[in-house]
Amino acid sequence: GAGEAMIEPELYSWDLAAPSIIVEEAGGRVTDLEGRRTYAGGNALATNGLLHAAILKRLNQA
């Protein structure tokens, strides 16, 4: 299947490193929920790249 975005509240670095590279090579974007590019684990937002800024903005409107 296909997805436009994925939000994960808790990841380890080994959960994030390889999929991040695949997403980025396909034109997508992966950051933490604050918008920082990281492979250290924690939380993550992965998108097709087009929706990334809008989703981050919505997530951080609290």
Question: Residue 2 above 70 pLDDT?
Answer: yes
Predicted pLDDT at 46: 96
pTM of the complete model = 0.88
First to last CA, the chain: 31
The range of the structural domain enclosing residue 46 comes to 5-59
Q: How does 35-54 read in b/e, with b if 16+ C-beta sit within 10 Å?
A: eeeebeebbbbbbeeeebee
Structural domains counted in the chain: 1
Q: 42 - beta bridge partners?
A: 11
Checking if the pLDDT of 62 tops 80, the result is: no
Distances from the Cα of 10 to the Cα of 26, 37, 47, 51, angstroms: 23, 15, 17, 21
Question: Residue 31 sits in a domain of what CATH number?
Answer: 3.40.190.80
Summarize pLDDT for 17-51 with one digit per residue, the tens: 999 999 999 999 999 999 999 888 899 999 999 99
In the numeric block, which tokens belong to residue 18? Answer: 């390889």
